Structure 1
Amino acid sequence: MLRITAEPVAQGLPLPQIMTPGAAAADLRAALEAPVTLEPGQFGMVSTGLRLEIPLGFEGQVRPRSGLAAKNGVTLLNSPGTIDSDYRGVVQVILMNHGPLPFTIQHGDRIAQLVVAPVSRVRYELADELNDSARGDGGFGHTGVK
């Protein structure tokens, strides 16, 4: 099992938790001094109150929580957000309210999920042209919807 070292910088919050044996992600919580309300169409940076030490060769992927999106229209503006293994600052989450109503975030609310995944080390090489593929440059719905 991979171990992630976490340094809480906010009081009264548990470490990220994987809630069920089959879950891929750990829940991240809001670390707030006062409630924050996002109006419809508004986004804001919300602290998790955690600094993480992710091992070299891995990254943290901050993802939306499906319940927040389905019930309230609240999701992550940059999804997934990336936490590099050499980043040591406090993890922040950029939440966006796509819903029709104001949404209030309280200290300790579960606001996002964290997946830790391996990173492929790659080297990019310059080429005069690329090999052909069956797809070519087709994108943005080129295969249709049915």
Structure 2
Amino acid sequence: MAPVILRFRHVGNRGPALDVPKYETPGAAGMDLRADEAVTLAPGERRLVPTGLAVEIPPGFEGQVRPRSGLALRHGVGMVNAPGTIDSDYRGEVGVLLVNHGQAPVAFARGDRIAQLVIAPVVRAEIALADALSDSGRGGGGFGSTGHQ
């Protein structure tokens, strides 16, 4: 399989350019995204935190911006729209929509790791309008309809 090439560009003017994301271990699925400005989130507050980077993702792939488990465990910080999607044709600055679910303010310094970026293939569906859908064992059952656990 040919490697997927990501091209990053520095777009923030908030200080010296931060390092581009990289995989920290050979088995890492994601690469860390860093805050390009200092931010303090009050309990219950959400904020779009800039990364200072734009990325070019090849067609047929997407960038999935995911929360960091350590921030969730230690501080109750997550993402409002997890995972966030970066489409292959988006060229603007990548931002991370953080939320503080914890009981205390959480401060991030410029350069702190705030999220992960995972690159994944995208399958585009052909859309068809139908008069009926095929039967399934589940049918129209929704939330909680497949069990009681």
TM-score category (smaller protein) = over 0.9
Instruction: Measure the CA separation in 1 of the matches of 2:142 and 2:19.
Output: 43
Query: Equivalent residue for 1:20?
Result: 25
Instruction: Measure the CA separation in 2 of the matches of 1:144 and 1:38.
Output: 38
Alpha-carbon deviation of 1:144? Answer: 2.9
Relative to the length of structure 2, the TM-score reads 0.93
Identity of aligned residues (%): 58
Query: Equivalent residue for 1:91?
Result: 94
Q: Say if 2:95 is the partner of 1:76.
A: no
Query: Equivalent residue for 1:60?
Result: 63
Residue identity opposite 1:68 in structure 2: L
Relative to the length of structure 1, the TM-score reads 0.94
Query: Equivalent residue for 1:103?
Result: 106
Instruction: Measure the CA separation in 1 of the matches of 2:105 and 2:120.
Output: 33
Q: Secondary structure at the match of 2:72?
A: helix
Unaligned runs of 5+ in 2: none
CA RMSD between the two structures: 1.1
The total of aligned residue pairs comes to 144
Instruction: Measure the CA separation in 1 of the matches of 2:58 and 2:86.
Output: 11
Residue identity opposite 2:20 in structure 1: L
Query: Equivalent residue for 2:10?
Result: 8
Unaligned runs of 5+ in 1: none
Moved over 6 A (4+): none
